[in-house]
Structure formats: structure tokens, C-alpha cells
Amino acid sequence: VLDDFWGEALEVYLHNPWLTYSIGLHRLRESGLASDMMDDLDERPLSLDEIHQLSKMLFIGEDGCVDLPHPRQNWNNFFRSLTILVEKEKPQWNPVKKRLTPWIDLKKLESMHGGGEESSQNHQQNHSHYGPEQQQRPREHRLSNPESKEPSCNASTGKNLNLTLPEVLQRWSHQPPDYKTSYPLQHLLVKVPCTFPPTNTKVEPH
């Protein structure tokens, strides 16, 4: 069970202060669709392998049209490529700093992991926490899009008062007409504001 958005963001900040914990990431973790690595954002610092994996999920996705060097192999090349990707994205609301910030605080990431080094806490915990299969988990659809627009809310995403809460969530997470095929993560994050409070009063505010 997750804390409220602000409380969870604060816990994530304590372990991974370089990451902006957006409302989209919070709702994704609440829905149970997040990977094990994302579930641990508030528990420990991410390893270099996981930072690389998360960066791919956030900025590249399944198309793989952009190559992101691995930080263990060449930190400088990784950092330069990541900087380009981060600067193309729209800033996200940061509940800890109470302002819009980039997805990744590059200076903070550099200070913690520059040169391809693990944080001290993560060095002790990470490799005993995950097996090789979990560390090599295939990436999901990209979570953000530099060309994305503000979501357009409609009845199918939570404002239809004739729908039950399970039906609202089913229509948010799965595609019509039978609602059996799930949407990609990019779509889920874009539609989060339409599905959860305050737009959708069927879900208890957090």
C-alpha cells in the first residue's frame, strides 16, 4: 500500500533525489502495473543498471530509435545522451520542491553516480535484492513524450456517472470495444488526470 502522493514523493526523494516523482508515476505504481524496480523507488537508491532501465522507459520506449549508452560502460557518453533526452521533455510537477522540475535532476544524478559508481547504500543492497532475470526485465512503453498534449477528458475516462469504479478503471487501462487488451503505459500516464480525482469523484482523493 502506497502513501499519499506527497508522502510517497518524499520517500522517493530520500533515496533517489535526482528523480522527479510525478503524479503519473504515482498512479502507475498505485495501479499495480509498475515493474518491481519502480516499486522500490521509495525503498533504496536505484543501481546503475536500473537507472539505465528507467531512463529507457521514460524517454525511449519500445521503438528503440535512440541509443542510450550504459553508464557502466561509459558514464560520459551515457550522461551526454541522457541530457539531450531530458532537455526535450516537458517539466513535471515536483511535490517535494513544489514547482515544475525536469524528469531528472542531472546535477544531482552526476553528484551521486558520476563516473559510473553505485551509491554506498545501493552497493550493499541491490545485488542481493534482485536476480539477473529481474535486472534484465524487458522495458515497457515509453512513459513520456515530448510531443504529447494535455489529455482530453471524456466520459470513457471517468466522468460517466453510470459506471462503477471497477468499470472506470477497466476503461482507463484497457482498450475498447471489449476492454481486454491493455493500453501502453504512455496512454495510461496521459489519461491519469481524467481517471482519478478531482475529475473522477468515484475515486477517493489522495
The pLDDT of residue 153 is 54
Q: What are phi and psi of 182, to 5 degrees?
A: -75, 150
The pLDDT of residue 85 is 94
User: Containing H/E element for 135?
Assistant: helix 132-135
165 is written with which cell numbers? 469504479
pTM: 0.59
Mean pLDDT of 94-123: 84
Tens of pLDDT along 145-200? 444 444 445 444 445 557 776 777 777 778 888 888 877 766 666 666 566 555 55
Distance, CA of 87 to CA of 77 (rounded, Å): 16
Tens of pLDDT along 6-19? 889 999 999 999 99
Terminal CA-CA length for the chain: 13
The pLDDT of residue 2 is 60
30 is written with which cell numbers? 498505485
For every residue of 37-80, DSSP letters joined together read HHHTTTTSPPPHHHHHHHHHHHHT-TT--S----TTT-HHHHHH
More confident residue, 155 or 58: 58
